Amino acid sequence: MEFLDVYDETGNYTGVASRKEVHKEGLWHQTFHCWIVSQEAEKKYLLFQIRQKDKDLFPNLLDISAAGHLLAGESVVDGCRELEEEMGIVVDYNELNFVGIINEKLEGDNFSDFEFCNVFLYKTKLEVNEFNIQEEELAGLVKIELTDIFNLFLGNLDEVAVDGFKQEAGERTTIYNKVTRDDFVPHQLDYYLTVFRCADKIKDKTSAL
């Protein structure tokens, strides 16, 4: 069972609770979010993971490249493990571009997920097919052109193209199709737009955006 540090809504530490209790009672906790940005010629792309079909929250939807909870006693630096576990890449904390801490509430019929999201960007030269994903967490990985995803969430486009792969039992299937807003985890609009704007300005080395 995972235990998380919990806080009040202003960020004051209040104790420790199990992950199940945190999501049942809507307790504030910390998470690590890292969006991977790739560049091909003059075009930037954001990488989105495809969540596994058996995930308890938002199965099959497109989500942050790599993300996870910070466990009790961990610091945000420890969150870098998510990149190695989920994406198969080792990244030093100093290579990340800090976007900021974004407060987010995701609520459903059986859960209340209240997060202090420590959000980062990481720029890579790797192609989407070069990542070794963790099948227990991810069903696949796709890239979306940054300009397109921006316009999708601004309401200027109804759908955008995704290019990447799905993976099952080590076997990969190439995918290239169209997706709509409904195919993404319903993070707050301001969260997405903040990430997209910072991704557009990302530099090769760590910088505050």
Residue-wise pLDDT for 125-183, tens only, equals 999 999 999 999 999 999 999 999 999 999 999 999 999 999 999 999 999 999 999 99
Residue 96 lies in a domain: yes
The CATH number linked to 83 is: 3.90.79.10
* Residue 207 pLDDT level (bands cut at 50, 70, 90): very low
Neighbours of 196 (CB within 10 A): 20
Residue 207 lies in a domain: no
What local confidence, expressed as pLDDT, does residue 204 receive?
A: 56
Residue 37 lies in a domain: yes
Residue 140 lies in a domain: yes
What local confidence, expressed as pLDDT, does residue 10 receive?
A: 95
Please state the domain count of the chain. 1
Residue 205 lies in a domain: no
Residue 162 · residue 145 · CB < 8 Å: no
Residue 110: both structure tokens together: 């059986």
Query: Residues 144-153: pLDDT tens digits?
Result: 999 999 999 9
Among 101, 119, 79, 96, which Cα is nearest to 204's? Answer: 96
Residue 118 lies in a domain: yes
Residue 206 lies in a domain: no
Residue 205 has pLDDT above 80, yes or no: no
Say which range, 67-71, 81-85, 103-107, 130-134, has the weakest mean pLDDT.
103-107
Residues of the domain holding 165: 3-200
8-state DSSP, 182: G
Residue 179: both structure tokens together: 């997706």
pTM check: above 0.85: yes
Residue 30 lies in a domain: yes
Among 168, 172, 152, which Cα is nearest to 160's? Answer: 152
Mean pLDDT of 72-84: 97
What local confidence, expressed as pLDDT, does residue 21 receive?
A: 95
* Residue 119 pLDDT level (bands cut at 50, 70, 90): very high
d(CA 116, CA 33): 10
Mean pLDDT of 106-120: 91
Could you give the C-alpha distances from 59 to 69, 182, 193, in angstroms and in order? Answer: 17, 12, 23
